[in-house]
Amino acid sequence: KQEVTQIPAALSVPEGENLVLNCSFTDSAIYNLQWFRQDPGKGLTSLLLIQSSQREQTSGRLNASLDKSSGRSTLYIAASQPGDSATYLCAVGGRIYGQNFVFGPGTRLSVLP
C-alpha cells in the first residue's frame, strides 16, 4: 500500500527566505506526483504536476523535483512571501484505486513579515 509522508509537519520562516518542503513515498511505481496548496477553510489549488518520466517542474518561484528511485519529491519556494502561508500537500498518482492520488498529511507553512 502506498504511503506518503511529509516533513516537516510545520515550518515558520521570515519573509525572503528560500525553503524546501519534503515529500516521501513508499512505492516508486507511480504515474505522477502533484503538489497542492490549501488555504485555511478552502479547497486545494494545484501548484505543479510532475509526470513519472520528468525530473522537475517549475512555475514562477516554485520548483518541484522528483526522484522516483529514492521515493522523494521536494518543493522549493524561492524568496518566500507572507502570501505563501498555507498548507502544502503532495499527492502521488497511481493505479491503486482506478486512477487516483494518495495524499500526504501536509506541511503547514507560515511566512512571517
Partner 1 sequence: NAGVTQTPKFRVLKTGQSMTLLCAQDMNHEYMYWYRQDPGMGLRLIHYSVGEGTTAKGEVPDGYNVSRLKKQNFLLGLESAAPSQTSVYFCASSYDEAAPYEQYFGPGTRLTVT
Q: Which residues bind partner 1 (CB under 8 A)?
A: 4, 31-32, 34, 36, 42-46, 49, 51, 89, 91, 93-94, 97-101, 103-106
Complex with partner 1: residue 43 or 113, whichever CB lies closer: 43
In the bound state with partner 1, the residue whose beta carbon lies nearer, of 4 and 86, is 4
Three cell numbers at 68?
522516483
Q: How far is the CB of 6 from partner 1 (least distance, A)?
A: 9
Shortest spacing between CB 17 and partner 1, in angstroms: 26
Q: How far is the CB of 10 from partner 1 (least distance, A)?
A: 12
Which residues neighbour 75 within 8 Å (Cβ) at sequence distance 6 or greater?
Answer: 20, 21, 23, 35, 47, 48, 62, 63, 64, 88, 90
* Residue closer to partner 1, measured from CB, 43 or 60: 43
Contact 64, 35 (CB under 8 A): yes
Write down the least CB distance from residue 34 to partner 1, Å.
6
At residue 107's C-alpha, the angle toward residues 100 and 3, to 5°, is 40
84 contacts 77 by C-beta, under 8 angstroms: yes
Q: Which is nearer to partner 1, 41 or 83 (CB)?
A: 41
